[in-house]
Structure 1
């Protein structure tokens, strides 16, 4: 006992119990696995006792799963702790599974972080399949993210694009521009103005609150590969031991404080009658309360829409400008197309974008190589299914590796090459029907915010190409750029993108 005197009392107690807990885990693990040996499962690597294949995931699971798929095939079986898991890594297999079994695979596994941060997973992304999920999905489709509603926010997008241009112009007086930060501000301000009726960049709130860091921490915590999620019976113990619980508590507290502040401000504006513009999430929340309905859109239950709406747009724009600065021929072609459509006007209009097929091809190529969610949000089978000659039991967790599918050599020629031209004479789209390109998922659990995110990205990227000529800072070569990814629910570059912007107006 004296050996552990330096540890807190709670940690000493946990360490003393550890041998007993480990023995129980071992027994339960073998009993759990034995339940799944009756049918023929897909191929996969050998398993270790207790942890199964967890040791093979490492820090970037999408890359680990991609490597395993190259060795074992497009559908593989893993035992991740106590959780039977199937990973799909090719367009052909994704099509076969999702076309035949989307209804069976429309539920979500129970994840500790989602339960902790999102009111017991009562949000649209992590809620299990059922009547409640169908109801909130309908709300999003009709009230919040319909084509008419998205179009109504066009003035907000155009104003924020103009602010983005002015920020870059102000920054271009120095040697270089931190484009990553400016893109984060743009995506955040569009979403916050639409959802909450205010932005957080005015008055320095974005920096003082650590807004981008909060979003990135949220996305990392919701990534679905926390070790405790693979040992359901002892997850609380594991999360406390690894420090995950402390991170969740801190993140939850910070977002609670932020959203409580937003709600108070919104209530004050409504009471004073000083603001009558559309605040997508909050206005629906108050209308539901007035009608006596359940509060379906409530504080932290909005967080996945809020974070995803900010982060996916920012990530796509950041990767797009990174790939274009590396591939200057593509940059020049996209820039020439935008400028030929817009002409002498200073600002791009959303009505200009449909006349820019190469710009659209660039965005598709970014979705292929850098899907915002590299491994789509996991699903859970609600009954046993048969795929090829394999029988996959109920309660199996399914991961679709969108990052791997974008590099599937059977679906793409030269898959590692950035080549937007591949989409110019192709009917392949990202709306869930073409399984070669499913950055937003497919079927019932497809991301409902695809239209909102796309118009936010298209307008900003067109304006960046129209307003500025872009270069790398002096002495920096394309091969010097750090392309390392940070894994989470969404995946951004670890390094910030710093460029030289030369204004054209």
Structure 2
């Protein structure tokens, strides 16, 4: 037997194994096809179809192609989900198959994806940071201990609005809410104020935060084309308040919490709370009957001569309904992003490729008429006597995410948002600037990691 024949005989088992493997994979792909979607242009895929507001574009496309849809963004397979049932299946039933949040070139710039609890894969390091968040940052005792600090900041906000009231000057609701959110968090975390309400004192810090949110949420060629992604990665180096607690943990055990991880833990999303306050006030200005009903509740329960406190939130069901309705119609972020890991997967008889990006379109779910009657009408009453909440268990309303990767800062954000809105309504009446009618209040969005108002809301406070 010659050398060639011997070689073929030796390779036969290997060839047969490869054939079986390929055949098995082929059968799997034949038994489950990719979800439907728009036809992709060679090389660039469907990128040009996204426009300036991808969440809106994808919501429209889902009406044609269904609640689970496949689009090609450059070289990346992307599965867009706009159904609470499928979102639940991904975030709960198949949670382990989607252990990673999608990272972009912007989030990788300073190795944020390697040190931030928001982007780390599920594992020991991620678990340690989540534990610190739960037990040290956002636990009920910790939040209760710092309640006085937050109350102090609310008083500063009300004093500023009172000055505007006396002068008959309009308040930029978003900017005032941003200053308050920054100081509420800085007081809780560091026991110091970071910003002031006087003109210019907060503008630079506010702009930095908003630009970060836009940069982290903005598309980048390296995110869609694998080779470009490798080429564009940046390799830059890496008591009574929370900072002291984290320093103690870090000093005691660097393996549990490094200084770099600590910095990322403290990068809390002030823009989310500020943006939510602005959207709530926007809808209240657009819907005077809702504003009146909320005023009546808050002023009746709290009392004319008292100030709103965090303990009052549970006694204000209409306030809670207003906040939920705002989250439904104006979610803090348009998408929940996950990345498929490991083997291929089948969901709803559709093939989900390995390493596919999953976009759960929260914005689309919140405006789906099959889930919400009159979805484009702001109706807090839909949440009265309803058990639907925002804790990540009801997948038709998941503004903070769901499953194991739900935002750990929810307890603090919820307190801040509810008490800020209630205080604004309790202490002042609000009017639009002369010449503006409620129906003219702008609702356009500015796309990013969080959804901001494109046109700031300005309203004139008056004494009730």
Greater Cα shift, 106-115 or 484-493: 106-115
What residue in structure 2 maps to residue 408 of structure 1? 368
Aligned to 1:334, the other structure's residue is in SS state helix
Instruction: Tell me whether 1:59 sits opposite 2:52 in the alignment.
Output: yes
Aligned to 2:201, the other structure's residue is in SS state helix
Q: Is residue 108–residue 129 contact of structure 1 (8 Å, CA) maintained in 2?
A: no
Instruction: Tell me whether 1:84 sits opposite 2:44 in the alignment.
Output: no
Cα deviation, residue 349, structure 1 = 1.7
Aligned to 1:386, the other structure's residue is in SS state strand
Any runs of at least 4 consecutive aligned residues in structure 1 with deviations exceeding 4 A, and if so which? 36-39, 202-206, 236-239
Report the number of matched residues: 436
Q: Is residue 324–residue 389 contact of structure 2 (8 Å, CA) maintained in 1?
A: yes
What residue in structure 2 maps to residue 293 of structure 1? 254
Give deviations 1:91-131, integer Å, cap 9, x for gaps. 22222333321221121234221111344431011112222
Larger radius of gyration: 2
Aligned to 1:348, the other structure's residue is in SS state coil
Unaligned 5+ residue runs, structure 2? Answer: 1-25
Instruction: Tell me whether 1:441 sits opposite 2:401 in the alignment.
Output: yes
Q: Is residue 150–residue 188 contact of structure 2 (8 Å, CA) maintained in 1?
A: no
Q: What is the alpha-carbon distance in structure 1 between the residues aligned to residue 440 and residue 277 of structure 2?
A: 20
Q: Is residue 288–residue 294 contact of structure 1 (8 Å, CA) maintained in 2?
A: no
What residue in structure 1 maps to residue 267 of structure 2? 306
2:226 paired residue among 228, 232, 236: 232
Q: What is the alpha-carbon distance in structure 1 between the residues aligned to residue 284 and residue 201 of structure 2?
A: 28
Instruction: Tell me whether 1:181 sits opposite 2:144 in the alignment.
Output: no
Greater Cα shift, 151-160 or 324-333: 151-160
Change (3 A) 1:194 1:297: farther
Task: Give the superposed CA RMSD.
Answer: 2.5
Aligned to 2:77, the other structure's residue is in SS state strand
Provide the TM-score with structure 1 as the length reference.
0.81
Provide the TM-score with structure 2 as the length reference.
0.88
What residue in structure 2 maps to residue 15 of structure 1? none
Aligned to 2:72, the other structure's residue is in SS state strand
Instruction: Tell me whether 1:134 sits opposite 2:127 in the alignment.
Output: yes
Give deviations 1:446-493, integer Å, cap 9, x for gaps. 111111100001111111111001111111112332221111111110
Cα deviation, residue 138, structure 1 = 1.4
What residue in structure 1 maps to residue 311 of structure 2? 351
Greater Cα shift, 318-327 or 99-108: 99-108
Q: What is the alpha-carbon distance in structure 2 between the residues aligned to residue 203 and residue 341 of structure 1?
A: 29
Q: What is the alpha-carbon distance in structure 1 between the residues aligned to residue 356 and residue 397 of structure 2?
A: 24
Q: What is the alpha-carbon distance in structure 2 between the residues aligned to residue 486 and residue 427 of structure 1?
A: 31
Q: Spell out the pairing of 1:21-60 with structure 2 (5 A cutoff).
A: 39-60=32-53
Change (3 A) 1:207 1:304: farther
Cα deviation, residue 352, structure 1 = 1.6
1:366 paired residue among 307, 320, 326: 326
Cα deviation, residue 171, structure 1 = 1.5
Give deviations 1:235-263, integer Å, cap 9, x for gaps. 26568xxxxx8xx99xx9xxx9xxxxxxx
Aligned to 2:128, the other structure's residue is in SS state helix
Q: Is residue 150–residue 187 contact of structure 2 (8 Å, CA) maintained in 1?
A: no
Q: Is residue 284–residue 297 contact of structure 1 (8 Å, CA) maintained in 2?
A: no
Q: What is the alpha-carbon distance in structure 2 between the residues aligned to residue 132 and residue 232 of structure 1?
A: 27
